[in-house]
Structure formats: structure tokens, C-alpha cells
Amino acid sequence: MDNQTTQFRRNDKPWLKTYEKYGMQYDIEMPPADTSLIEILEENFVKHAGRISFVCMNQELSYDDLDRHSRHMAAYLQSLGLKKGDKVAVMMPNILQSPVAILAILRAGLILVNVNPLYTTHELEHQLEDSESKALIILENFAKTYADIAKKTVDHVIVTSMGDLMSPVKGFIVNTVVRHVKKMVPPFNIPGSVNFKQALKTGAQKTYTRPTDIGLDDVAVLQYTGGTTGVAKGAMLTHGNLVANLIQADTYIGDAFDHFEERNEQPVIMTALPLYHIFSFTVCGMYGLRKGAINSLVPNPRDGKSLLKAYKDYPPAFFPAVNTLFNGLINSEHFRVLDHSKLEMSMGGGMAVLKDTAEKWKAGTGNVIVQGYGLSETSPVASANPMGLDEFPGNIGVPFPATDMAILDEDGNEVEIGERGEICVRGPQVMKGYWKREEATNEVMTPDGYFRTGDIGVMDEHGYFKIVDRKKDMIIVSGFNVYPNEVEDVMTGHPKILECGVIGIHSDKSGEAPKIFVVRQDPSLTEQEVIDYAKENLTGYKRPRAVEFVDELPKSNVGKILRKDLREMEAKNNPQ
């Protein structure tokens, strides 16, 4: 990429008329090829010095603090001998140490590996080994998960506690409550591990060397996803991918938050979605830093009391969320009576926003949810609805600036407007490929640079896209992707299970939930045993919520489980 306008404009793209209608800009200008996310972040530390960057549990972290702490941690990581291209994993929820660790890794010229802190030992081991991570920064609440791997998977482990970046008194109280009252820290032993605060102290005595050889084409983040197959693999997101998505978002949103600046007031971004999820990472964390916003971090969005308190104490201007979160809040009378006057934009992603939820949200907050669409492989935003709509449209909007989307058939040909096909995306935010999986990359990338999403959709005459089906068997649980073959692979490890098949079923709470069809190896196998085994070996959102025993599974001539037939059987036996 060079310092010129990125253009994918073609005269036959109907969404350009929509851009004109709403006065939006389609083209973007990328920075020079030797620019990196590091430079953009460090510019913002200076630009927004003195302001609040992140707040968590009413403990504020200024842009100056964020600059200092992340620089010291970057210096510490460099002092360990870590060099360009080395991977460092971060495994923690939304606490103040999370953005510090993330920015330190990037500033040190290393590659960030985002890890879900709810992963089981099996899942964590796979991700650390597959990514070839050299170091792990982890919250002590989850340290036992790593310790239980029972072998040295990474060279360096940095362990932090909930209160490490809080004031001494508050930090002591928080750590005491977490460890001894709520007993949220299981005993663990990680030989050679270093305390987060000690790492910061050591790093303060080292010299931070700002990398000069990182450019837009270098990988910044390995974002693990099942892609279109379900085998967990790292999408290589470059500095250019992430910078592009930030510029695209800025271009798309335009001057929506400018009046905050005019009043010398910081807009607040409600960061209830976890930063290890690409939606929150880019749209909340990185975009918030670019705009000089306050990111209000919520460690556990399922804790309704703390979520409501965060919303009340720091009323948001921008609230990205998934349908389940919007729905849970708007059905709470305690939420409806809060002050929503500063809320400028509510953005839905990760899963489909339901019309009923959107209507209730508008009635309760006066805000129309702007639904967008994206994937880990697209950094993540590929499309969104324009701001300023009077009603929730129920589609995924038009392509983001400088983004070309097409509906292609199986042969890669573009179908007619209104016809079904696979939604494909081309643009500067599309990943470099899958880490160490060239074949998998080739399967999802067309020769002319489109990424095949696996979602079946249609495009109307105004350039709006709508998802109508899913080509892949992926299940979306509260915005998180669950891949049946991953669940099946784990569950067939149970000695009493001969084979199994997994599909998604409707859930009022999470949109979808996994259901497992089991063929017994041992007739004594019970439903509770299946559920218990899943609890031991799978992250919560991946666990089957329903179990059905069958004599055999429907299969193709070559022995492949036909999940389509399982879905038909489910629809017949349990109609909605």
C-alpha cells in the first residue's frame, strides 16, 4: 500500500448511490507503507495527553498512564530477548492491564495473540502451541488453566491480579475480595512466572527501543477463529488491515462525535464486549484510542449490577454490543430509567440483531441500532448501515468505505441482484491469510482477492446486503462462533461415546445454542455424563445445551455426518 487513494469503485456497484444519498465518503487514503499501528497509537498518546483513556470499576487510567505503562512493559518484553515476529498471548478479561499489555506487545514490535480467558486447558494448549507463542500475560484467576497444561508451553509467563493498576488501597481491597471472599483464584504453580507489577518496575529501568522496521504489511495480531471449517487457526491481521479498518470507521461515522470535542468533552465507549474478541478489539479499543475517547471497561458483562453501574457512572456515546446484551439490558427496568441522552450510536454485530430487540431499544433509549457485519478475517468490519436511519432495517448494510462486496455463486461468478449466493469481501481490511495454513487460505480466497465468508446472502438494488442462510455449519452463541467439528472432536474423547454430531438450535437467551446427537459406545451413558464431560473440556459457550441419543447418525456415501439432515430431524421433532 502506498500514499494514494485506495479505490475499489466500480460503476456497477449500487451502494455508491446510497453513499451519495447520505453524503458519505467511499474512498479512503492510506498512510505510507512504512507506517504502522505503533505510530498511530503513539501520536494519540501525545494528542490526548491529560485525558482519560480507560476506566474500570471507577479506576481511571489516563492517556499519559497508558503511554508510560505500555512503554515500560514493551521495554520489559524487549529485555527478554523477544524480537520482531515473536508472538505474545494475552489471556484476561476487560481490566486495565489488558490494554496496557496489548499496546506493549504492539509497541515492542511483537505479534499479539488474543486468548479467551474462559478457555479450557485443552483449548489454551492448542492455541499457544499453534501460534508458537513465546510469552503469556495472564490474569491470576485463570493461571491454573495454564498450569494444568503440565508442561512448559511458553518461555515467559507474566501473571497479573485484578487490582494491579488500581490505587494501593483499592487494589488491595479488590484483590482480597477476589482471592479470599469470592474465591475466584484457584491455587496454581507456574515456576519462573513474573508478577505484572514487577515486570513494569523492571521495564521502567530498561530502555524502550521503538521499532523502525514495522510496516503496514507486517502482522500485528493473530486472531484465532474457526474460519469456514472449524479447525481453530490464526487469522493474520496486519498493521495495514487494522489501520485501514480504523480509517474506514472514521470515514463512515464522519462527524458524529465532533460536538463532544466542541464542548471539550470526551465521548465514552461502552466496552462491555471482551477486548479479546475482534469486534471489541477494533471497534472499542483501537477506535477509542484513535478518537481520544474514554473506554469504559466491563470485566464481566453478565454481571448486571456492575454493567448498569458502569453505564450510569460513564454514560456512553457509543455502545457496540451483540443482540443478547442489548436484549438483556432493555428488558431491565433499572436500565430503562438511566440517562441515555448522550447515546449517539448503538452498533450491533457478532450476531444478528433481532427486530423485536431493536424496536424495544429504540423505544427505551431513543437510539436506532446500527447493524454491521464482519468477521475475524476482516479486522472485523466489512459492512454497516448508515447512521441516521429512522428505523431498524434488519440487514447488514452497505460495504464499508473502500470495500468491495459481491454475491458469488459456487463457480465464483457474480449473481444477479436479488439472487442468493455467498457473500464475499475484498478490501484493505481483509486478512493476510491463516497462520501456517496456506491450503486453508487458498480455500477462502478467490484468485482476484475476495474472501469467501461462508454466509449466504442477497444484495438489493440499493447495495444493501442481507444474510439469508449459512453455508458453513457454524453456530453463533451470543456473538461467539462455535464450530461443530471442534465440539465433536472433543466430545468423541469420552470413552462411552461412539460418535456424535452437533448442530445449532434456537435459544431465546443466546440466539443459538449447540445441541449434540450422540451414538452410545456404552449403553449406560447418561445425559448428565455428556454434559459433565463438556463442562470439563469446553469453554462455556461451546458446551452442548441439549443432548439427544440416537441409534445412528445420517451420513453421506463417504461417511460424512450430514448436519443438514440433523437440522431437518430437529425441526420435525421440535418445531418452533
Express as a percent the part of the chain with pLDDT over 90.
77
Domain 62-215: give its CATH architecture: 3-Layer(aba) Sandwich (3.40)
Query: At residue 4, does pLDDT exceed 50?
Result: no
421-426 β-sheet, strand order: 404-408, 421-426, 451-459, 465-470
Check for a shared fold between 62-215 and 475-573: no
Lookup result for grid cell 461515522: 253
Among the ranges given (96-100, 393-397, 512-516, 558-562), the one the predictor scored with the smallest mean pLDDT = 558-562
User: How many residues are present in the chain?
Assistant: 576
Cell of 499: 460418535
Query: At residue 170, does pLDDT exceed 80?
Result: yes
Residue 334 neighbours by CB distance under 10 Å: 12
pLDDT for residue 8: 39
Query: At residue 245, does pLDDT exceed 50?
Result: yes
Q: How confident is the model at residue 229 (pLDDT cuts 50, 70, 90)?
A: low
pLDDT for residue 516: 97
Whether the Cβ atoms of residue 474 and residue 226 lie closer than 8 Å to each other = yes
Query: At residue 254, does pLDDT exceed 60?
Result: yes
Helices (H) then strands (E): counts for the chain: 20, 28
The type of residue at 531 is I
More confident residue, 378 or 553: 378
pLDDT for residue 559: 56
Taking only the tens place, the pLDDT of each residue in 369-405 is 999 999 999 999 999 999 888 899 989 999 999 999 9
pLDDT for residue 256: 84
Taking only the tens place, the pLDDT of each residue in 200-215 is 999 999 999 999 999 9
Rg (C-alpha) for the chain, rounded Å, is 23
Residue 49 CB partners (closer than 8 Å, separation 6+): 62, 63, 64, 67
pLDDT for residue 226: 66
Query: At residue 561, does pLDDT exceed 60?
Result: yes
Q: How confident is the model at residue 328 (pLDDT cuts 50, 70, 90)?
A: confident
| Distance between CA atoms of residues 18 and 22, nearest Å | 6
Q: How confident is the model at residue 485 (pLDDT cuts 50, 70, 90)?
A: confident
Instruction: Please give the distance of CA 349 from its chain centroid, rounded to a whole number.
Output: 10
pLDDT for residue 201: 98
Domain boundaries, the chain: 62-215, 475-573
More confident residue, 340 or 11: 340
Instruction: Please give the distance of CA 547 from its chain centroid, rounded to a whole number.
Output: 28
pTM for the model: 0.86
Mean pLDDT score, 101-120: 96
Instruction: Please give the distance of CA 507 from its chain centroid, rounded to a whole number.
Output: 21
More confident residue, 377 or 492: 377
Q: How confident is the model at residue 503 (pLDDT cuts 50, 70, 90)?
A: very high
Burial of 324 (0-12, 13-18, 19+ CB in 10 A): buried
Give me the chain's average pLDDT, please: 92
Whether the Cβ atoms of residue 302 and residue 308 lie closer than 8 Å to each other = no
Query: At residue 576, does pLDDT exceed 80?
Result: no
| Distance between CA atoms of residues 408 and 431, nearest Å | 19
Helices 37-47, 239-253: crossing angle, 10 deg rounding: 50
Residue 411, Ramachandran bin (φ over 0: left; ψ between -120 and 50: alpha; else beta)? alpha
The type of residue at 467 is I
Count CA atoms closer than 13 A to 152's CA, side-chain side.
Answer: 7
How do strand 294-297 and strand 465-470 relate by DSSP bridges? unpaired
Whether the Cβ atoms of residue 25 and residue 251 lie closer than 8 Å to each other = yes
Residue 477 CB partners (closer than 8 Å, separation 6+): 504, 507, 510, 511, 512, 513, 514, 541, 542
Q: Which residues pair with 477 in a beta bridge?
A: 480
pLDDT for residue 434: 96
Write the CATH number of the domain with boundaries 475-573: 3.30.300.30
Mean pLDDT score, 166-185: 96
